[in-house]
Chains A and B, each alone.
Chain A
């Protein structure tokens, strides 16, 4: 009982789930809501188990995950590389800044149809949509992180006559890691979003493609069951990022408060 007094949320979190799902189940039955509008959770679970059992969800999930991770990889390498380049040259930053703002404020999802047209219905177009969406939050955070190094740390390096490269490698880059991770955390969620939207626009495989097909067949329970799979993938990716962050940023406040 002592644990419950210290961590009451361990009871409250499952309780919220039970109450919400129970109310949902009761309301759909009491009000006789048609299953093609809002299906009861029990039906969603039934469809989910069937989908997982037949193996069809697994294949589509792997396909979508591949697109998202591929896009995230491209965005992370590109965002960190370009961020370092821009942060190292004030002139380059001032020159590119208006363009970055313009691109940042444009809904990049709108470019997805073009990518399908250019790169076809295969995996390449989806990887590129995911990369495009994930790239900018990573880039912006890398630049902000590299520019916000504590001035005293820079002076410390100057007092021992460190070269620019030494200061970058030993102080500026590690100092920027918390911000870079903040960007990567947003980026990995965005890359999944990009992959799904890419599939909506045009694809033959993947969970987004499944959602479109089920929607066309008025299979609301199917759509909800795919949403459950997508949210499981999203949570897993988020937890993996957090685990990596906790290992690499063991020294930073952000990893100590979350216990």
Chain B
């Protein structure tokens, strides 16, 4: 339980590894207040995610955990720091990402299939190949029979599955997920976590997953980044090392409980989670 804000998550990379999928160095984001002075919202932040890793980012609300994803995808511009994808320095991920938002953000005039195909249309990918890939992805998220349904005919959980399939259609190497299960009820949320684990294992993507649920972060992550309250800095970086074929039962094991306790401790020290 040592370290706190000074921990640098990537300080000891094991020797001989390939370039990490994502490497962040001194990343910072500041906003100008209406009086004109800079207010730091995030960072400085340094961490890396190995290729095929599943990084969960957990922290109190307003700590800037979503900002990390938005900086990485180029939706907003960073104030300082460098970002590397597979060793290449980038300003933003150049379209090599799939983004899953908290709300499914499906277009109501398109069917599930057409919604999944949206990024393929934007990137002008081969139509026939994309259609068969979309069909495969809808099968993967368990919606093979719902391809021709419109969003209003689908439940919240199903809509979010469609948006996950949409984020994978252009075969990006990195999947950015911003509290994707935040709007779902507790039961659906647990089912979706198990589903996501399965989808991640099958698709071999690198995932960056933001959440404010500690158990969700521990259950899903191969790596857990714990952020401090605003401006978000690294409070802890944990590799839980849970078995790859874990089910929800793992949540009642002592090892799981220990990690949850360790993360919760950071927030209690800083004066509570929410």
Which residues on A are within 8 Å of B, measured CB to CB?
150, 152-153, 155-162, 166, 170-171, 174, 250-252
Q: Are A174 and B170 in contact (CB under 8 A)?
A: no
Q: Are B152 and A160 in contact (CB under 8 A)?
A: no
Known: A150-B105, A160-B123, A161-B122. 4 other contacts (CB 8 A): A157-B122, A159-B73, A162-B122, A251-B152
B78, chain A: closest CB distance, angstroms: 16
Name the residue on B nearest A152 (C-beta).
B105
By a CB distance below 8 angstroms, the chain B residues around A250 are 109
Q: Tell me whether chain A's interface is mostly helix, strand or loop, or mixed.
A: helix
Q: Are A160 and B95 in contact (CB under 8 A)?
A: yes
B128 contacts A by Cβ under 8 Å: no
Q: Are B119 and A160 in contact (CB under 8 A)?
A: yes
Please, how many angstroms separate the alpha-carbon atoms of A150 and B103 in the complex? Answer: 12
Contact of B122 among A153, A155, A170, A174 (CB under 8 A): A170
User: What interface size band does chain B fall in?
Assistant: 20 to 34
B97 contacts A by Cβ under 8 Å: yes
Q: Are B101 and A155 in contact (CB under 8 A)?
A: yes
Please, how many angstroms separate the alpha-carbon atoms of A170 and B118 in the complex? Answer: 9
B146 contacts A by Cβ under 8 Å: no
A174, chain B: closest CB distance, angstroms: 5
Contact of B75 among A150, A153, A158, A174 (CB under 8 A): A158
Provided the pairs A166-B122, A170-B118, A251-B152 are in contact, do residues A161 and B94 lie with their beta carbons within 8 angstroms? yes
Name the residue on B nearest A248 (C-beta).
B109
Please, how many angstroms separate the alpha-carbon atoms of A170 and B105 in the complex? Answer: 14
Q: Are A171 and B107 in contact (CB under 8 A)?
A: yes
Q: Would you give the 0/1 interface string for B72-92, flagging 1 where the beta carbon is closer than 8 Å to chain A? A: 011100000000000000000
By a CB distance below 8 angstroms, the chain A residues around B107 are 153, 170-171, 174
Provided the pairs A170-B122, A251-B150 are in contact, do residues A156 and B170 lie with their beta carbons within 8 angstroms? no
By a CB distance below 8 angstroms, the chain A residues around B105 are 150, 152-153, 156
B115, chain A: closest CB distance, angstroms: 10
By a CB distance below 8 angstroms, the chain A residues around B97 are 159
B237 contacts A by Cβ under 8 Å: no
By a CB distance below 8 angstroms, the chain A residues around B142 are none
B239 contacts A by Cβ under 8 Å: no
Which residues on B are within 8 Å of A, measured CB to CB?
73-75, 94-95, 97, 99, 101, 103, 105, 107-109, 118-119, 121-123, 150, 152, 170, 176
A16, chain B: closest CB distance, angstroms: 35
Contact of B99 among A150, A159, A162, A171 (CB under 8 A): A159
Q: Are A159 and B75 in contact (CB under 8 A)?
A: yes
The 10 closest A-B pairs by CB, nearest first: A159-B99, A161-B95, A160-B119, A251-B109, A251-B108, A162-B122, A152-B105, A160-B122, A156-B105, A159-B73
B41, chain A: closest CB distance, angstroms: 18
By a CB distance below 8 angstroms, the chain A residues around B103 are 152
Please, how many angstroms separate the alpha-carbon atoms of A156 and B121 in the complex? Answer: 13
Q: List 5 A-B contacts (CB under 8 A).
A: A159-B75, A160-B119, A160-B123, A170-B118, A174-B109
Please, how many angstroms separate the alpha-carbon atoms of A161 and B176 in the complex? Answer: 15
By a CB distance below 8 angstroms, the chain B residues around A158 are 74-75
By a CB distance below 8 angstroms, the chain B residues around A170 are 107, 118, 121-122
By a CB distance below 8 angstroms, the chain B residues around A156 are 99, 101, 105, 118
A199, chain B: closest CB distance, angstroms: 40
By a CB distance below 8 angstroms, the chain A residues around B101 are 152, 155-156
Name the residue on A nearest B152 (C-beta).
A251
A103, chain B: closest CB distance, angstroms: 33
By a CB distance below 8 angstroms, the chain A residues around B119 are 160
Q: Are B108 and A160 in contact (CB under 8 A)?
A: no
By a CB distance below 8 angstroms, the chain A residues around B75 are 155, 158-159
B273, chain A: closest CB distance, angstroms: 26
Please, how many angstroms separate the alpha-carbon atoms of A166 and B119 in the complex? Answer: 11
Most buried by B among A152, A158, A161, A251: A161
Name the residue on B nearest A252 (C-beta).
B108
